[in-house]
Chain A
């Protein structure tokens, strides 16, 4: 008989793989930290290019998350709650960006939104505006790749949420929109927050679709991952420094947010 408290013990068949998983996920980061040329960090951070890329990354990832929330939460609701025919096909379709190599995603975006694209051509001819190589294109590329993460987690949260609360709201005179706003949304808020974090993190690290569709121009479309990749071509040490900066900023942001909403759910 084990004297260990029942709730404190982790069975060995779970503990060993869990530790391996931690090692597998954390060691590469440790490698970055160990190999980082710490003396270069100061000058790198001070260089205007890095600040610019970092700012652009944070802004575009946040905008992409906002767009994803605006469009993705309603999509998740349709997938989870509506009785639309062909929902499973729809679900498979919207998760395509998850399996599509991001570079292919970038090319696909060109074919639709590019200057010669199906929609982009019309826009270009009408207004002279061409989306590629603009900051908006960065947001579009990141949204394309990251939104499915949000949709999938919010749909999961909606499915897990007790739909009878929505029945109760309906019997109290709330139409479906009011019910969604005042009951469903607050109930699945933790799921939406988790999905938004996942989406933001994915957008922040986005490389392939961004460099393909938005190109790479400092200050306009060069996000941190692009800067890291190009630094790797000439100066791997600088690339390590840039990676660490990106890592530190994203971790700090996530921890800050986590503290925020954990604090809120406890009081709820």
Chain B
């Protein structure tokens, strides 16, 4: 079973890697030593970015010793709400375009840039109580309908949050093979229920599966490509430290940044 699951995740990663949008031509090399940068850099970032952004933040502070990087990780919609209520930040990294659009509509950012993408996979508990698996000997990536059966207990995100919108999309595209039993408030809640074995399966992001390690097993499916979630970053128009914000944004989109994102399960954009 472990063997199969590793294959499944590897397949998911490989698939997203070659199906992602072409690498941005402007990808820069290592950022030159910006001795002109200093002060505090405040980054509002989607919760799914916690691990990788923390690592990148340490890297950034090493490159710019005068800069102190502060992160606020939370759900993208919560962060968007905070920003529209006047929370002070330099950079906003959202997990989907809709939340970035909210902030952009409020006139708080200009020119958001995509830096990563994420897509849904089907996560099941290691014990796989419902015995879900792709059909034997099937060619290529299976459909979600081939893996799911109608009687499984399924958790997805609520449609109000980005992962839920994507889940609704893939389920519809697969011809609604199963009805969700619960609409969770965020993707972590779905993952928790899968890890606890309280649901048979859950639709979560590839990056969450990587973060969960051995806690879950994941299967990639064809419809996942139709609902790719794009991560965007933008410097706030009234950022106290716009130069540092731009430099961090560049680091994220650099080869090193993209490699770190890739290792965390985010296919490069």
Contact = CB atoms under 8 A, between A and B. Distances in A.
The answer to whether A and B touch directly, with their CB atoms under 8 angstroms apart, is: yes
Nearest to B161: A233
B196 A110 contact: yes
Interface residues of A, number: 26
Given A133-B153, A234-B160, A236-B81, A107 B185 contact: no
Interface in B157-185: 158, 160-161, 180-185
A6 B197 CA distance: 65
Interface stretch (A164-172, A184-192, A209-217, A248-256): A209-217
Contacts of A110: 193, 196, 198
B160 A217 contact: no
Interface stretch (A13-21, A54-62, A195-203, A224-232): A224-232
B195 to A, nearest CB: 10
A207 B33 CA distance: 48
Nearest to A124: B129
B160 A215 contact: no
Interface in A101-158: 107, 110-111, 114-116, 130, 132-133
Contacts of A132: 193, 198
B77 A130 contact: no
A101 to B, nearest CB: 14
B95 interface: no
A243 interface: no
Contact of A232 (B81, B183, B193): B81
Contacts of B182: 133, 214-217, 221
**Chain B binding surface SS class:** loop
Interface string A230-248: 1111101000000000000
B155 interface: yes
B158 A233 contact: yes
A229 B181 contact: no
Given A212-B189, A216-B182, A230 B198 contact: no
Most buried by A among B78, B153, B185, B189: B185
A215 B81 contact: no
Given A110-B196, A116-B196, A221-B182, A215 B155 contact: yes
A115 B198 contact: yes
A217 B181 contact: yes
Interface in B103-129: 129
B189 A234 contact: no
B185 A133 contact: no
A116 B189 contact: no
Nearest to A134: B181
A116 B198 contact: yes
Q: Which among B75, B81, B158, B161 has the highest number of chain A CB atoms within 10 Å? A: B158
B40 interface: no
Given A130-B153, A215-B155, A116 B160 contact: no
Interface string A19-39: 000000000000000000000
Nearest to B102: A234
B149 interface: no
A234 B81 CA distance: 10
Contact of B185 (A111, A115, A211): A211
Contacts of B75: 233
Contact of B183 (A114, A216, A231, A234): A216
A197 B77 CA distance: 34
Nearest to B200: A115
Given A130-B153, A133-B153, A216-B158, A229 B185 contact: yes
A194 to B, nearest CB: 32
A215 B181 contact: yes
Contacts of B196: 107, 110-111, 114, 116
Given A215-B184, A216-B182, 19 more contacts: A107-B196, A110-B196, A114-B196, A114-B197, A116-B198, A130-B153, A132-B198, A133-B182, A211-B184, A211-B185, A212-B189, A215-B183, A221-B182, A229-B185, A230-B160, A230-B183, A232-B77, A232-B81, A234-B160
9 contacts: A116-B198, A130-B153, A211-B189, A230-B158, A230-B185, A231-B160, A232-B77, A232-B81, A233-B78
